[in-house]
Amino acid sequence: LNFSSDNSYGVADEIMAAVVAANRGAAVSYGGDDWSTRVSARFAELFEHEVEVFLVPTGTAANALSVATLTPAHGAVFCHAESHIHLEECGACEFYALGARLVPVGGFAGRMTVPGLKAALARYPGIRHDLVPSALSLTQSTECGTVYPVDEIAALAGLAHENGLGVHMDGARFANAAAALGHAPADITWRAGIDILSFGATKNGAIAAEAVIVFDRARGRDLFHRRKRGGLLVSKTRFLAAQLEAYLADDLWLRLASHANAMAARLATGLASLPAVRLAWPVEANEVFPVLPCALAAKLRKSGAVFHDWTASGLAGTEHAPSPDECLVRMVTSFRTEAGDIDALIAAARRLAGGN
């Protein structure tokens, strides 16, 4: 009953098999191998667009490189206050962007709004003693388990472009969003105004493989050097590329994400049926954020369930804010979560909550 993180589970069998299969003969290192060539072509096909592809071993690296290439050191980068780049990457964006600033923007359920972004931009008019507004970073699916509709992405990206900003999408859980939206990858990225995408695979079944996808080549010019300089260019690139090749083959990425999403929906439905539990935010991807009595959370853990507490600061002032004896927790489902585990958790919660 482990719902702690999509990183806690292992690796999808197809991906591991591809890595094992790649261990054959000599191959050029540092990206000159056939796997890397093929996976770049595959990404171009998938996104219906010429792309530059930079493979890296972590999502933090993908985000930081992406943001860094969009901003000068004296730039201001707008992101959601709850976003991963703002709160959980130890300032990697500031490091790779050589001291640029992340400007937190609020918004319910992990989603920025156009008025919210406008207000934040108004604080950085770009007159001469200020930092220069340079980039917008959107997270899809969000840290709150929600998904931006395409028109919201387009509206935010449009506002950003009008103000001269480049637009990044943190897609650590891009597969979950794509599966939820059902649109073509192109429609929810460059056609909606995304200039550069962190395309995640690790949380959805890879060992350690993420891709920076550059839709506007002019923006990605120096990424080769930035990646190397960051110690992020692995030498035996074939093993990184092989993971992504398997991930993209036969829509594996979407199949894995759809399963995780379905498990989250099942979990959400079950939890919402309990009188003592309510959901902080709509469940649109593979994360569920129940507000529940702290006593119940403790009992569930004692019974073997694993999940993390979550900060309720994003709920402050809303109807969903926890009361003093309530807790907000996060439960994440993965490509490997089984329906039986969901049902067992719900049954345990019902038993432990109710006395019935």
Rule CB under 8 A: is residue 11 a binding residue for its own copies? yes
Rule CB under 8 A: is residue 241 a binding residue for its own copies? no
Q: Which is nearer to its own copies, 89 or 353 (CB)?
A: 89
Rule CB under 8 A: is residue 78 a binding residue for its own copies? no
Rule CB under 8 A: is residue 57 a binding residue for its own copies? yes
Binding region for its own copies (CB under 8 A) out of 13-21, 41-49, 279-287, 323-331? 13-21
Identity of the amino acid at 202: T
Query: Distance (Å, rounded) from C-alpha 294 to C-alpha 288?
Result: 16
Phi, psi at residue 83, to the nearest 5°? -70, 155
Q: Which is nearer to its own copies, 210 or 284 (CB)?
A: 210
- Interactions with its own copies, residue window 256-315 (CB under 8 A): 306, 311, 313
- Interactions with its own copies, residue window 161-200 (CB under 8 A): none
144: part of which helix (H) or strand (E)?
none
Cα 249–254–260 angle (5° rounding)?
135
Among positions 39, 53, 100, 144, the unique one binding its own copies when judged by CB under 8 A: 100
Binding region for its own copies (CB under 8 A) out of 99-107, 264-272, 285-293, 297-305? 99-107
Binding region for its own copies (CB under 8 A) out of 125-133, 156-164, 185-193, 283-291? 125-133
Largest CA distance in the chain: 66
Rule CB under 8 A: is residue 74 a binding residue for its own copies? yes
Bridge partners, 132 (sequence order): 75
Query: Distance (Å, rounded) from C-alpha 254 to C-alpha 250?
Result: 9
CB of 34 to its own copies, least distance (A): 13
Identity of the amino acid at 94: E
Query: Distance (Å, rounded) from C-alpha 338 to C-alpha 353?
Result: 23
Rule CB under 8 A: is residue 23 a binding residue for its own copies? yes
Rule CB under 8 A: is residue 318 a binding residue for its own copies? no
Following DSSP, what letter does each residue of 216-234 receive, concatenated? Answer: SGGGGTTHHHHHHHTT---
Query: Distance (Å, rounded) from C-alpha 271 to C-alpha 343?
Result: 10
Among positions 36, 202, 258, 286, the unique one binding its own copies when judged by CB under 8 A: 202
Among positions 48, 49, 95, 161, the unique one binding its own copies when judged by CB under 8 A: 95
Helix (H, G, I), strand (E, B) or coil at 51: coil
- Interactions with its own copies, residue window 204-233 (CB under 8 A): 207-208, 222, 224-226, 228-233
Rule CB under 8 A: is residue 235 a binding residue for its own copies? yes
Among positions 36, 40, 80, 94, the unique one binding its own copies when judged by CB under 8 A: 94
Rule CB under 8 A: is residue 28 a binding residue for its own copies? yes
Rule CB under 8 A: is residue 339 a binding residue for its own copies? no
196: part of which helix (H) or strand (E)?
strand 196-200
CB of 183 to its own copies, least distance (A): 27
- If 0-12 CB within 10 Å is exposed, 13-18 middle and 19+ buried, where does residue 186 land? middle
Query: Distance (Å, rounded) from C-alpha 334 to C-alpha 41?
Result: 28
